[in-house]
Amino acid sequence: MSDQSNANNNAETPPGADGTAQASSLAQPSAESSVNEPEPFTELENLHAEVAALKDRLLRTMAEAENVRRRAEKEVADARVYGVSNLAREMLAFADNLRRAAESVPAEARATLDPVATALLDGLEVTERDFLSRLGRFGVKQIEALGAKFDPNLHEALYEIPDETKPAGTVAQVMEQGYTIGERVLRPAKVGVTRGGPRA
């Protein structure tokens, strides 16, 4: 009877299924699982490369954002200074007309004018000065051309005047006053320059 129970136990337990056999099979990883696992050093190198790429992208994005910010600040500053350029350019004709009206009466004739006409001329000159000072608040300034060396960035030469007493290329006459706004030329001065004199 004991032989029969031993036989039954042997029949129920499959070969190689005892506890020792199972532990040994669990302790040893299969060859298939070791092939699928990445190498630790390779994975670390990949992570370092990914971090470097992300850092590069971050630095480029930050630099681009800084450039956009600087451009926006410059555009705002330019708009503040040069935003009135078109209006100021149109108003220069008004300043020209005031100057022509004041200069229409020769200096010799002013002594013989009655007090009303004299007051009118004085009023024109005061109005011109006030108008130019108001333009100056917006950065508009007159170009001091008379007697200066001809500068094509600031002056527009209309004709030449023979004059050997002054260096060639000196502004001898101003036909139309020039103006700047900020660091830009709003309207160049229309001038006559000397020729025939010594080189400056």
Lowest mean pLDDT of 39-53, 59-73, 132-146, 152-166, name the range: 39-53
Report helix, strand or coil for 166: coil
Strand partners, 173: 192
Rg, Å, the chain Cα set: 46
pLDDT in tens, 107-117: 888 888 888 98
Confidence label for 91 from pLDDT (cuts 50, 70 and 90) = very high
pLDDT in tens, 9-65: 554 555 544 544 444 444 455 545 555 666 878 888 889 999 999 999 999 999 999
Which pLDDT value is given to residue 12?
Answer: 52
Domains along the chain with CATH numbers: 140-200 (2.30.22.10)
Among the listed residues 179, 8, 15, the one whose alpha carbon sits nearest the alpha carbon of residue 91: 179
- Cα–Cα distance list, 94 to 100, 105, 127, 173 (Å): 10, 18, 11, 21
- Give the predicted TM-score (pTM) of the model: 0.63
Report the percentage of the chain scoring pLDDT > 70: 80
